[in-house]
Chains A and B, each alone.
Chain A
């Protein structure tokens, strides 16, 4: 079945450091790929998405590129802030408007001032 694998956390960085959170997937066909973020005490929020190969999703300074050849969707940010401290989840769903998501385990990011 479909699955998503994320790098194990937790990740601790200093403010303004470069962030990469690796995500790879296994799926049949051509899934859509997503990154969700959960800030402390809040629900999951969609951070960015990509629906086809070579698409780049971006939001709030975060970026991820859909790489079909490596089945990856790594999350990057050039300069993290303390406010980016959260848990990040990589996820996929199959196209056609499906809202049934397959998630990775999540990566907890802590950014220190």
Chain B
């Protein structure tokens, strides 16, 4: 069984450009989370999908970030326009049903560098 897959693994863009990150959860997992680790700081929660619905988007930093999960399968996280402070590692995680972190599977992350 494939794990949580994130694309790309690395992205280097210039300030002002647009970047789209993709997360493919484990098949059948309704819950999908995005987290972000800015260099030298904590990993922070961004948002939580249940199927295609946004359950909690309290961690989204501002309106330059747009997350979607059309059809309740894969999810995209678009940053437009990107700023220097958006650099960091973006993690995706999924679970079949909400049952605590023991049920969560994480992807290996997308390293985003904004120059």
B12-20, B63-71, B76-84, B99-107: which lies at the A interface?
B99-107
Question: How many angstroms between the C-alpha atoms of A89 and B101 in the bound complex?
Answer: 13
CA A62 to CA B57, docked complex, whole Å: 34
Which A residues fall within an 8 A CB radius of B?
A: 4, 32, 34, 41-46, 49, 89, 91, 93, 97-106
Are A43 and B98 CB-contacts (below 8 A) given A103-B44, A105-B42, A106-B43?
no
**Residues of chain B having any CB pair with chain A under 8 Å:** 3-4, 31, 33, 35, 37, 40-45, 48, 56, 91, 93, 95, 98-109
Q: How far is the CB of B35 from chain A (nearest CB, A)?
A: 8
**How many angstroms between the C-alpha atoms of A43 and B91 in the bound complex?**
8
Per the bound structure, the CA–CA distance linking A104 and B40 in Å amounts to: 10
Please measure, in the bound complex, the distance between the C-alpha atom of A8 and the C-alpha atom of B48, giving whole angstroms.
Answer: 29
- Cβ-defined partner of B106 (8 Å) among A32, A34, A45, A97: A45
Q: Are the C-beta atoms of B4 and A105 separated by less than 8 Å?
A: no
Decide: A93 and B101 in contact? CB cutoff 8 A: yes
Which A residues lie within 8 Å of B31 (CB)? Answer: 99
**Cα distance, A91 to B44, chains bound together (Å):** 11
Q: How far is the CB of B47 from chain A (nearest CB, A)?
A: 10
Q: B101 is contacted by which of A101, A105, A106 (Cβ under 8 Å)?
A: A101
What is the chain A residue whose CB lies nearest that of B89?
A38
Nearest A residue to B4 by beta-carbon distance?
A43
Instruction: Report the Cα distance A95→B56, complex, angstroms.
Output: 17
* Chain A residue with the shortest CB-CB distance to B55: A100
